Amino acid sequence: MKTVVFFNNKGGVGKTTLLCNLAGYLALERHAKVLVIDADPQCNATQSMFSDTTLSNLYEKKSFTIDSVVRPLSLGKGFTSDFQPIRSPSFGTDVLPGDPRLALTEDLLATDWGQATSGSVRGLRTTLLFRHLLEFASDYDYVFFDVGPSLGAINRSVLLAADYFLTPMSTDIFSLRALENISLSLQKWRKQFTASVESINEDEVSEVGVGDLTWRLRFVGYVTQQYTAKRDAGGEPRAVRAFEQIHRKVPSAVAKELVAPLQPEHAAINYSLGTIPTLHSLIPLSQTSRRPIFALRAADGVVGAHFAKVTEYRKTIGSIATRLLTNIKAFE
């Protein structure tokens, strides 16, 4: 089982759309067993993958959500012993639904992180709640975490649980600037986490409740999105000049901010997983029909030239999936 967090502290980069479609592609086209965990209090992934009727039933009946994982800890009851994801038929994945109440745990996780860095076993235990959750997910091939655009305590706990993080980027200068923030935060968290683990006594390790206490997070790649494209002489989409100038700066910025300080021993990997141009009306069609973009049909509102765009997107997301799995294998 491989765990990937789709993470960028800059908002509006198409993170959730990429996650849902990549998860759906691996499940429907590559026949992988995929779990999506919606750890964003805005619950965008959950809304994208289920009908309004399903969502109403889910929250009105107080079904199992990500808040059900956190609540026992907030009440001092320890880790949950329950795990009840639900199926998204149109995406072919299982989903642990998001919950707006997750936002209320930010202070709890922040406080306990402070205690963890001071050598508190209880603080470390709370911080690693998502790593404990993943012990229920060992039967899956891939677990994808959706998170909000933040460098806060919730995202820190998610990243501490994961094997990899993937960074979706919009083609603008602010995405480039965000890389430095991500890098500095991860370096600080890694140092603090390692020190907190080393500070606890050997006989206290079992009290944490999680078997693996190593920092295992790796940067697996980035996807640039939301650029305006035109066709070159060979018929391939290329970014127009204004976007191309920014796009050219991305590889060196990624190498400087994420690869060199975090994993210099893996500098030879190609971290560019692919590019996705602005998709215009295909995204609202996907959101309305609750179907992956690559699986949109006439019944979902696809007409005329949109069919070619759907086919093109299927090819693009397939290529991104292949490159992602290639990079994961390179770390093994």
pLDDT digit string, tens, across residues 198-212? 988 877 888 887 878
Residue type, 7: F
What is the spatial distance between Cα 50 and Cα 225, in angstroms, rounded to a whole number? 24
Geometric angle at alpha carbon 225, from 220 and 228, rounded to 5°: 155
pLDDT in tens, the chain (332 residues): 999 999 998 888 889 999 999 999 999 999 999 999 999 999 999 999 999 999 999 999 888 999 998 888 877 777 888 899 999 999 999 999 999 999 998 999 999 999 999 888 889 999 999 999 999 999 999 999 999 999 999 999 999 999 999 999 987 788 888 899 999 999 999 999 999 999 888 778 888 878 788 999 999 999 998 555 555 556 655 555 556 777 788 999 999 999 999 999 999 999 999 998 877 788 889 999 999 999 999 998 888 888 989 999 999 999 999 999 999 999 98
This prediction has a pTM of: 0.92
What is the spatial distance between Cα 132 and Cα 315, in angstroms, rounded to a whole number? 36
Amino acid 225: pLDDT: 82
Contact criterion met (CB below 8 Å) for 231 and 237: yes
Give the pair of three-digit tokens for residue 88.
């998204």
Contact criterion met (CB below 8 Å) for 125 and 17: no
| Inter-CA distances, 133 with 143, 154, 211, 267, Å | 11, 14, 12, 31
- Which structural domains are found in the chain, ordered by start? 2-330 (3.40.50.300)
Residue type, 229: A
In the chain, alpha helices (H): 15-28, 44-49, 52-60, 66-74, 106-116, 121-127, 129-133, 153-161, 173-199, 205-208, 241-247, 250-254, 260-262, 282-289, 306-330
SS3 214: coil
SS3 152: coil
Amino acid 234: pLDDT: 63
Amino acid 326: pLDDT: 97
Query: 238 has which bridge partners?
Result: 230
Amino acid 206: pLDDT: 81
Contact criterion met (CB below 8 Å) for 13 and 226: yes
